[in-house]
Amino acid sequence: MVTRRDGRSRLGCLVGLLLLVTITYFGFNIGEVYFRFLRLKDAMVQEARFADSRDDDAIRLRLAAVADSLGLPDEAGRVRVVRSANRIVISSEYTEHVELPLFVREFRFAPQVVRTF
């Protein structure tokens, strides 16, 4: 005996697949923003690790170059370096915009690294 299949299950699968692709696409855009943040913070950790042999201006220039190479906004390259006798604080603040289907979402980041000697 042969039974007929309704087309509804195929349409349901198509809608589910379309939903999965949409979520993946926009998730990738948001994930990329966080990935760039983590790369900048990793560069800050690296600069703090070698802060003994570099002056503040050299640290600022290197981190501004990293921010520029990552395609971050200009404000991300405005790095603050504060030293005291036994510690260094490297920080920055910036905002990134991600365009989602009906609105633009702003993500505010403030990476900061503190290292004590």
pLDDT tens by residue, 80-95: 999 998 999 999 999 9
pLDDT of residue 17: 87
Q: Which whole number is the average pLDDT over 55-84?
A: 96
CB 95 within 8 A of CB 104: no
Confidence of residue 100 (pLDDT cuts 50, 70, 90): confident
Summarize pLDDT for 44-57 with one digit per residue, the tens: 999 999 999 999 99
Percent of the residues in the chain that have a pLDDT greater than 90, as a whole number: 66
Of the listed ranges 8-12, 43-47, 70-74, the least confidently predicted one is 8-12
Count the residues in the chain. Answer: 117
Count CB atoms within 10 A of the CB of residue 60: 19
Of the listed ranges 16-30, 35-49, 88-102, the least confidently predicted one is 16-30
